[in-house]
């Protein structure tokens, strides 16, 4: 069985639309992660469940890394000259990214090697911690941060952010080529 990452965004003409596409995709994936954890708690680890773990690991490995880079390298630099409120928000969002990546490290060791899931309850706990922090972060960006940013950037700057995100995907040295 082959596991491939499919980019949730297809139109890069507006960087903010790329970020929103990722937010929707990551929120949906979070629900799937919680369902997977429920299924693992409910029964023994079977091949189908193990494949779901590995497919989900593949998704998050690529999607989270790309998404954080899209924001930190593609969008945030365009806002550094702006109002203090936005700069403060970006500082908090970057801190969130680090926290999410730490939670992901703990979860990924199990999700990427499902035979290591010997304690289903512990897996479920790690999945719930990761999903909650990620969901709260995504909703804050989607409902609070991006609507403000949308009023601050020109159409050219939104296109510029999208072009940066395309360049990121072409940089093999950051390890973002598909698995
Ligand atoms: Fe973020
Ligand atoms: Fe985001």
Nearest alpha carbon to residue 22 among 138, 118, 131, 120: 138
Nearest alpha carbon to residue 64 among 35, 11, 92, 25: 25
Mean pLDDT of 8-14: 96
Residues 6+ apart with CB under 8 A from 117: 40, 45, 53, 110, 123
Mean pLDDT of 10-29: 97
Mean pLDDT of 156-170: 97
Q: Output the pTM of the full model.
A: 0.93
Superfamily, domain 15-169: nmb1532 protein domain like (1.20.120.520)
What's the gap in Å between 81 CA and the centre of ligand 1?
19
- For residue 179, the model assigns a pLDDT of 38
For the CA of 26, the nearest ligand: 2
- Can you tell me the distance from the alpha carbon of 146 to that of 58, in angstroms, rounded to the nearest whole number? 27
What's the gap in Å between 131 CA and the centre of ligand 1?
14
Share of the chain above pLDDT 90, in %: 89
Residues 36-45 pLDDT 10s: 999 999 987 7
For the CA of 146, the nearest ligand: 2
- For residue 50, the model assigns a pLDDT of 95
What's the gap in Å between 21 CA and the centre of ligand 1?
13
Residues 6+ apart with CB under 8 A from 27: 135, 138, 139
Query: Where do the structural domains in the chain lie, given as residue ranges?
Result: 15-169
What's the gap in Å between 97 CA and the centre of ligand 2?
9
- For residue 177, the model assigns a pLDDT of 46
């Amino acid at each position: 069985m082959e596991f491939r990452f499919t980019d949730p965004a297809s139109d890069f003409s507006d960087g903010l639309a790329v970020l929103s596409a990722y937010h929707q995709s990551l929120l949906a994936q979070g629900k799937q992660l919680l369902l997977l954890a429920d299924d693992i708690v409910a029964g023994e680890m079977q091949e189908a469940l193990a494949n779901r773990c590995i497919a989900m690991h593949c998704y998050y490995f690529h999607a989270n890394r790309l998404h954080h880079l899209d924001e930190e390298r593609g969008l945030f630099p365009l806002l550094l000259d702006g109002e203090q409120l936005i700069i403060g928000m970006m500082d908090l969002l970057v801190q969130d990214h680090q926290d999410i990546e730490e939670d992901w490290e703990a979860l990924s060791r199990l999700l990427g090697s499902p035979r290591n899931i010997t304690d289903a309850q512990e897996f479920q706990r790690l999945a719930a911690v990761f999903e909650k922090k990620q969901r709260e972060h995504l909703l804050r960006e989607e409902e609070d941060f991006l609507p403000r940013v949308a009023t601050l950037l020109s159409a050219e700057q939104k296109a510029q952010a999208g072009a940066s995100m395309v360049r990121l995907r072409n940089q093999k040295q950051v390890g973002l080529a598909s698995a």
